[in-house]
Amino acid sequence: MQPRLSPSSTSRIGFQPPAIGEEEIAAVVETLRSGWLTTGPRAAELERRFAEYVGARHVLALSSCTAALHLSLLALGVGPGDEVITTPITWPATANVIVHAGATPVFADVRARDLNIDPDHVAALVGERTKAIVPVHLAGQPADLDPLLALGLPLVEDAAHALESVYRGRKVGTISAATCFSLYATKNVAAGEGGLVSTDRDDVADAIGSLRLTRRADGARYDVTTPGHKTNLPDVLASIALPQLAKVELHAARRAAQFALYDEAVDQLDGIEPLVRDPRDVHALHLYVVRIDAERAGASRDVYARELADEGIATSVHFLPVHRLTWYREHFPEQERLPEAERAGEEVLSLPLSPAHSEDDIARVAETLVRVHGRLRTAA
């Protein structure tokens, strides 16, 4: 059955509504009737199915991608006194987990063309205390992993945007010490909440398996060998993710058609450019991000966002630089300025994108963007 599409062209167009159909609804009902509310057979099936999809030896289901990142760092021995290098162009959770592990986040600048972490700057930041690197595959474009791997440090990939991504012929999820995916409501496989971590390392999988849940042994007596967390994925959410995973190719095709509509429209707009997609890789097409040059486009990113909102079109920002957010600015005042990331934080705007949108919806967004661009350029 087709997913429920967005309302008519006269209504507001949401940013990333989930493409939920009768299959997901039926799966939840079946799970509720089974008696399993917490982690059980559906979560185990999701782990098996996703391991097959990615091609990894181990996949573990967790309560969020944040939890997956956190436990992956702990599994690699990251702790107090260590440093972990990451990108500032990401959701703050990527940096938060480094702090939660007791380590210090060190932010590297990004490359202008795709806003992924700059391997050259990472190399310059590596020191005696560096324990790991956390690259982010922004919008679905894989970060440049080979020069990062060449540094000899374990990588924990934040692949929240990159479920379908392939880097130089290798599936994201099979390359590094650990790769973390998201099942959040806006993601390409959306369960509402949840995360998955893939790894080929037995020691990492064993450690995460022990850390994600404090287990109780059968019988009257129990013991604790590891002070675990509470980050397991319940079956109700896994049951939504399973039919979503079955639709991954169908939904990818719809997003590809939407990308094409946006590409055609944006190509004619001076001062508005999409992030570069490397033809050597498979882009997951998770976000359509443009950069708005205020001088050439006639107005700033924030003005464009307000104008589009006034036309009934929701947008988002991916992302404001983490190192300039209040807590990080106050706690790590020695962090150097990162000019590419800071400029991008003023320019990036993400347009609506979801397999729940019709092509008419996306055409309306594109037409409105063209109209707003003309109006703002004329008024400038």
Q: How many other β-carbons are positioned within 10 Å of the β-carbon of residue 143? A: 31
pLDDT at residue 217 is higher than 80: no
User: Where along the chain do its domains lie?
Assistant: 22-246, 248-379
pLDDT of the residue at 1: 32
How large is the average pLDDT for residues 252-270?
98
Q: Which residue has the higher pLDDT, 213 or 77?
A: 77
pLDDT in tens, 310-350: 999 999 999 999 999 999 999 999 999 999 999 999 999 99
pLDDT at residue 194 is higher than 50: yes
pLDDT of the residue at 66: 98
Token pair listed for 196: 């998955």
Query: Is the sign of the CA dihedral 25, 30, 35, 40 positive or negative?
Result: negative
Least confident span in 113-127, 202-216, 227-241? 202-216
Q: What's the pLDDT band for 219 if we cut at 50, 70, 90?
A: low
pLDDT at residue 351 is higher than 60: yes
pLDDT in tens, 264-318: 999 999 999 999 999 999 999 999 999 999 999 999 999 999 999 999 999 999 9
Could you give the C-alpha distances from 72 to 38, 122, 135, 137, 178, in angstroms and in order? 22, 20, 13, 17, 6
pLDDT at residue 82 is higher than 90: yes
Q: Tell me, yes or no, if 187 is annotated catalytic.
A: yes
The domain 22-246 is placed in CATH, from the list 3.40.50.1100, 3.40.640.10, 3.10.150.10, 3.20.20.80, at 3.40.640.10
How large is the average pLDDT for residues 251-257?
98
Q: pLDDT above 90 covers what percent of the chain?
A: 92
pLDDT of the residue at 225: 82
Q: What's the pLDDT band for 5 if we cut at 50, 70, 90?
A: very low
What does the CA dihedral 195, 146, 338, 94 come to, rounded to 10 degrees?
A: 10
Give backbone dihedrals phi and psi of 322, rounded to 5 degrees, phi first: -60, -40
pLDDT at residue 9 is higher than 60: no
Q: What's the pLDDT band for 226 if we cut at 50, 70, 90?
A: confident
Would you say 269 and 370 are in contact if contact means Cβ atoms under 8 Å apart? Answer: yes
d(CA 52, CA 366): 37
Of the listed 131, 171, 187, 230, which one is catalytic? Answer: 187
How large is the average pLDDT for residues 40-46?
97
Residue 44, SS3 per DSSP: helix
Q: What's the pLDDT band for 218 if we cut at 50, 70, 90?
A: low
Residue 128, SS3 per DSSP: coil
Query: For the chain, what is the mean pLDDT?
Result: 95
CATH 2.40.160.40 is held by the domain 248-379: no
Q: What's the pLDDT band for 380 if we cut at 50, 70, 90?
A: confident
- Global pTM reads 0.95
